[in-house]
Structure 1
């Protein structure tokens, strides 16, 4: 029986760890968590915010120091629930991240953004409607 999602793994090109740290720690407010030594040798970074973990694993040509062979997924993405979505969007924009609002999910405010290597991220907050007697 499934109990929860432990983490979501996204891909990143070789040599992008510092860019990822600036985005996931500075812009998103996550904390980097240490990888086990055997996994740390493969590169990449792991991040946490509360119960949410995102792992960024290295994909593409090794040793190139660049994005050779790396292509981020265009449609696949984690959906991250946030509070005070307007302030969160402003935080990302203040760190240079583009924010694209989307009104297509009823009952939610949401936007999409991309990390520095092109991974798509969805940020959403349920809309709480005030109760109106007789409705």
Structure 2
């Protein structure tokens, strides 16, 4: 029986770890989690914020998915969007999901990210 999602893995080009660390750490406010010794040599980096865990692995010939994305629930979505914009990240609001406010953004590798918060007005 499935009980939860343990983590979501995204991909990025080799050598992109420094800009990913800045984005996921400084911009999104996540904490980098050390990779296990046996996996550290593969590159990439892992991040966590509470129960939310994102693993970013490096991939030769990487091309970001155009539609696939993790949906990340936030609180204070307006302030969170403002935080991203203040760091130079573009946000695109979308009101097509009933009962939620949400926007999309992209990480420095081009991965699409959805940020959403249940709307009390629904």
Q: Which residue of 1 aligns with 2:16?
A: 16
Q: Which residue of 2 aligns with 1:122?
A: 114
Q: Which residue of 2 aligns with 1:101?
A: 93
Q: Which runs of 5+ in 2 are unaligned?
A: none
Q: Which runs of 5+ in 1 are unaligned?
A: 61-68, 131-135
What is the number of equivalent residue pairs in this alignment?
122
**What is the SS of the residue equivalent to 2:26?**
helix
For normalisation by structure 1, the TM-score amounts to 0.89
Higher-Rg member (1/2):
1
RMSD (Å), alpha carbons = 0.9
Listed one character per residue, the Cα deviations across residues 24-78 of structure 1 (whole Å, up to 9, x for unaligned) are: 0000000000000110100000000000000000101xxxxxxxx2101110000
**What is the SS of the residue equivalent to 1:87?**
helix
Q: Which residue of 1 aligns with 2:57?
A: 57
In 2, Cα distance between the equivalents of 1:48 and 1:39? 17
Consecutive aligned runs of 4 or more in structure 1 exceeding 6 Å deviation? none
For normalisation by structure 2, the TM-score amounts to 0.98
